[in-house]
A = this chain, B = another copy of it.
């Protein structure tokens, strides 16, 4: 047992009941709103609560109810601004609903991910907001299947039948392409993410589609790698070595853009004069860059809020369908007309 000798520090439900002159059960029910009491008794209890500064012990509550009023936010890396921003909106929405959020960082390690899913399965948390950005070999989908309330964010876990919220990556890719097209570009570069990630495929697909839909005569060079600074740097190195390099570039994530920008500067390529550029994500402070970088912005805040709403709502019977959050074009100054067509 926990407290051996020392006098109890904080009032318990029993204490409140004693002071109010009712049973603990009555207090519990009243405080949880599962009963309506005559004014008189209600007041007595309220007074006792205030007087004793009573606060229910969450551990006892959780054990008894078999639920915790905690949700777990599972992310690959909380230092990543995208996930940090997501965490902010998740925490806010959760707090509004009296839910605490436990931060679970996976570094994309499958074992850790599964461990957290297991935690949900055992009801140690009420819901899981799950983000992974590595392809699944089926293990995650399996783990998630019977775990309970999990909602998958940002990146898909293929074949898993749970609520999902994604950005409209395809539309975003298309928006990027159209902007570049309208600026007059005809030779495009695309630095994409891992081909086995849904988001990467979709962004690329959207970009290609919009180009295909245009009447214009168009050339594209595509490179794929991680959503990382290093990958962006490597890809742009290759691209600018080309015979006739593109005049416009679509970077499929912020880190890719950062990597590209760094190399471009080192090689003395000017953005946007030598190369127009548009990024995807817009969680880095691109508005403060020189030039400010035009971007397709994800609705990270909306994603976080919706996720907790869904996670906490009654599970719907109808087939779960992925929600698609619209993305937004943020025009800044990194896209201009090509110098020479």
Contacts and interface: CB of A to CB of B under 8 A. Distances in A.
Interface of A: 1-3, 9-10, 55, 57-60, 62-68, 70, 73, 77-81, 83-85, 87-88, 91-92, 95, 100-105, 118, 122, 124, 258, 261-262, 265, 284-285, 287-290
B55 A59 contact: no
B10 A122 contact: yes
A60 B57 contact: no
A65 B2 contact: yes
B63 A103 contact: no
B78 A105 contact: no
B64 A91 contact: no
A92 B100 CA distance: 19
Contact of A92 (B60, B63, B92, B105): B105
Contact of A59 (B63, B84, B285): B63
Chain A, interface SS category: mixed
Query: Considering residues A60, A63, A65, A258, which has the most beta carbons from chain B within 10 angstroms of its beta carbon?
Result: A63
A13 to B, nearest CB: 13
A2 B9 CA distance: 27
Given A59-B68, A84-B87, A101-B102, 5 more contacts: A3-B66, A59-B59, A77-B88, A79-B87, A261-B288
Contacts of A58: 124
Contacts of A87: 78-79, 84, 87, 103
Given A10-B122, A77-B88, A124-B59, A64 B95 contact: no
Number of copies: 2
B81 A81 contact: yes
9 contacts: A58-B124, A59-B62, A80-B84, A101-B103, A102-B102, A103-B103, A258-B285, A261-B288, A261-B290
* The 4 A-B residue pairs with the shortest CB-CB distance in the complex, in nearest-first order: A2-B66, A84-B84, A79-B88, A59-B62
B84 A79 contact: yes
Contact of A84 (B1, B2, B78): B78
Contacts of A261: 288, 290
A334 to B, nearest CB: 12
A70 B59 CA distance: 12
B63 A88 contact: no
A147 B102 CA distance: 21
Contact of A122 (B55, B91, B103): B55
Nearest to A68: B59
A153 to B, nearest CB: 16
B103 A1 contact: no
Contacts of A92: 105
A284 B105 CA distance: 21
Contacts of A80: 84
B88 A105 contact: yes
A91 B62 contact: no
Query: Considering residues A62, A79, A85, A95, which has the most beta carbons from chain B within 10 angstroms of its beta carbon?
Result: A79
A92 B88 CA distance: 19
A265 B60 CA distance: 58
A133 to B, nearest CB: 16
